[in-house]
């Protein structure tokens, strides 16, 4: 397994259990040494980020990448971003947000590409190549 500096944890934020299962398999297939945390909505992911600084680093490792779905019940990906912006800078430090979606709405892509907190906009499904390209771009050796 490859250890990537600065990438100890990947958070999957998607309400679909099958999508999360597949994404976990893709990450494992990439053979990187990383903890994978699954959150089924934006609220869970925000709570994780808030608890990260209060809990142990083994229980709440700092995410390097958050793969974020747009369309989720309760708190959508956009709602998550609105709340994420309010977090202290230290909680957001060195976190890459990848919007991972099936949306075909061009407005979603435009908004994502013009929102500073979103680093990359990807179409589902997540693949090993998309994951490796994201890692190569944001976690260069």
The CATH code of domain 9-138 reads 3.40.50.2300
Can you tell me which residue has the tokens 């259990």?
17
Query: Tell me: the pLDDT tens digits for 63-122?
Result: 999 999 999 998 999 999 999 999 999 889 899 999 999 999 999 999 999 999 999 999
Share of the chain above pLDDT 70, in %: 97
Rounded to the nearest angstrom, the gap between the alpha carbon of residue 8 and the centroid of all alpha carbons in its chain is: 12
- Residue 39 zone, left/alpha/beta (φ > 0; ψ -120 to 50; rest): beta
pLDDT digits over 4-50, tens only? Answer: 999 999 999 999 999 999 999 999 999 999 999 999 999 999 999 98
Token duo for residue 106 = 């061009």
User: What pLDDT is stored for residue 55 in this prediction?
Assistant: 64
């Amino acid at each position: 397994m490859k250890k990537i500096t600065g990438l100890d944890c990947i958070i999957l934020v998607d309400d679909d259990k099958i999508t999360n299962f597949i994404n976990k398999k893709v990450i494992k297939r990439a053979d990187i040494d990383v903890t994978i945390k699954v959150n089924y909505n934006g609220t869970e992911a925000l709570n994780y980020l808030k608890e990260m600084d209060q809990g142990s680093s083994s229980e709440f490792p700092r995410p390097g990448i958050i793969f974020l779905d747009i369309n989720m019940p309760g708190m959508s990906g956009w709602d998550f971003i609105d709340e994420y912006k309010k977090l202290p800078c230290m909680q957001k430090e060195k976190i890459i947000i990848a919007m991972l979606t099936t949306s075909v709405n061009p407005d979603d892509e435009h908004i994502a590409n013009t929102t500073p907190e979103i680093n990359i906009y990807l179409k589902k499904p997540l693949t090993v190549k998309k994951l490796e390209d994201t890692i190569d771009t944001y976690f260069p050796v």
